[in-house]
């Protein structure tokens, strides 16, 4: 039974000549470069990870080579699968957009490695253009620029309603999303998602907050600016 599983006939094994293999690898590298450029140009935060961009260039070619080595040989597939289980990513991509980019590059590499470079090019072009247009047009994004506000308060200050009047004056959206203790429980850290009103004076807002929290730390930053790393 095991022999029947691992036996492969000559017609079942994908045979790619040296010339065809080189062409597939070059096509995969070119398509990977296109995918990487789409990722760079569509990043609205201007915090592109150079390592991640480089990964998107090389990944399709690596996947294509793996597919050419495996062919339809089950034994090779199992062996290479065991080898790749020993390798893990150093860290996961930063957000869902980066995960999509990884699968995008892998799909192109699979198509190229199976000997369909023209099909891979069409897929790359169509998905890349749709991806670029959706990101640039801000599809699914809230029109309000959300920010993350962190306020440190002393433990004797009741945070329920303590800043409501300031939020009503300076923000059009606010939500308390997290409360945690810090400094051995002597302080609280409050995390809000907020959106400022048009022409709101952020400095005045922070100054008013400082008067309420005893001049402890206050942080305002953009939301969702985690940098992808591999």
Q: What are phi and psi of 218, to 5 degrees?
A: -135, 130
Measured CA to CA, the distance from residue 211 to residue 213 in angstroms comes to: 6
pLDDT at 142: 60
Q: How far is CA 121 from CA 45, 78, 185, 210, in A?
A: 28, 29, 57, 56
For the chain, what's the residue count?
A: 230
Of 142, 107, 129, give the one whose Cα is nearest residue 42.
Answer: 129
pLDDT at 3: 52
| 189 bridge partner residues | 152, 180
What is the torsion angle, in degrees rounded to the nearest 10, for the CA atoms of residue 95, residue 121, residue 107 and residue 140?
Answer: 30
Measured CA to CA, the distance from residue 77 to residue 22 in angstroms comes to: 22
| 153 bridge partner residues | 188
pTM for the structure as a whole: 0.59
* DSSP-derived 3-state class of residue 193: strand
- E strand map for the chain: 147-154, 171-182, 187-196, 218-222
- Please name each of the domains of the chain with its CATH number: 14-136 (no CATH), 147-222 (3.30.70.380)
The DSSP secondary structure of 54-82, one letter per residue, reads HHHHHHHHHHHHHHHHHTT-HHHHHHHHH
Of 189, 3, 226, give the one whose Cα is nearest residue 95.
Answer: 226
Of 213, 224, 211, 54, give the one whose Cα is nearest residue 148.
Answer: 224
Angle at CA 183, nearest 5°, toward 180 and 187? 55
Q: Which two tokens stand for residue 68?
A: 């050419």
Q: Spell out the per-residue pLDDT of the chain, length 230, in tens.
A: 445 444 444 444 455 678 888 888 999 999 999 999 998 888 766 677 888 889 899 989 988 888 887 766 666 566 556 555 544 544 444 567 788 888 898 889 888 888 888 999 999 999 999 988 888 887 766 666 788 999 999 999 998 888 999 999 999 989 999 999 998 889 999 999 999 988 889 999 999 999 999 999 999 987 654 444 33
Segment 177-180 long-range contacts (CB within 8 Å, at least 24 positions apart): none
Of 17, 218, 42, 70, give the one whose Cα is nearest residue 139.
Answer: 42
| 219 bridge partner residues | 150
């Amino acid at each position: 039974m095991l022999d029947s599983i691992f036996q492969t006939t000559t017609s079942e094994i994908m045979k790619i000549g040296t010339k065809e293999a080189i062409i597939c690898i070059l096509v995969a590298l070119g398509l990977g470069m296109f995918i990487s450029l789409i990722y760079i140009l569509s990043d609205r935060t201007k915090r592109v990870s150079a390592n991640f961009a480089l990964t998107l260039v090389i990944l399709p070619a690596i996947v294509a080579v793996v597919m050419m080595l495996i062919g339809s040989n089950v034994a090779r597939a199992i062996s290479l699968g065991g080898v790749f289980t020993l390798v893990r990513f150093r860290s996961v991509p930063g957000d869902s957009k980066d995960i999509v980019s990884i699968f995008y590059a892998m799909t192109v590499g699979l198509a190229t490695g199976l000997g369909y470079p023209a099909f891979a090019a069409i897929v790359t072009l169509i998905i890349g253009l749709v991806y670029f247009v959706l990101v640039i047009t801000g599809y699914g994004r809230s029109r309000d620029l959300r920010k993350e506000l962190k306020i440190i308060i002393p433990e004797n200050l009741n945070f329920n309603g303590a800043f409501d009047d300031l939020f009503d004056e300076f923000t059009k959206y606010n939500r308390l999303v997290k409360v945690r203790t810090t400094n051995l429980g002597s302080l609280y850290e409050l995390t809000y998602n907020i959106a400022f009103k048009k022409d709101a004076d952020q400095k005045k807002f922070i100054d008013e907050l400082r008067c309420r929290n005893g001049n402890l730390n206050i942080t305002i930053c953009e939301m969702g600016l985690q940098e992808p790393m591999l």
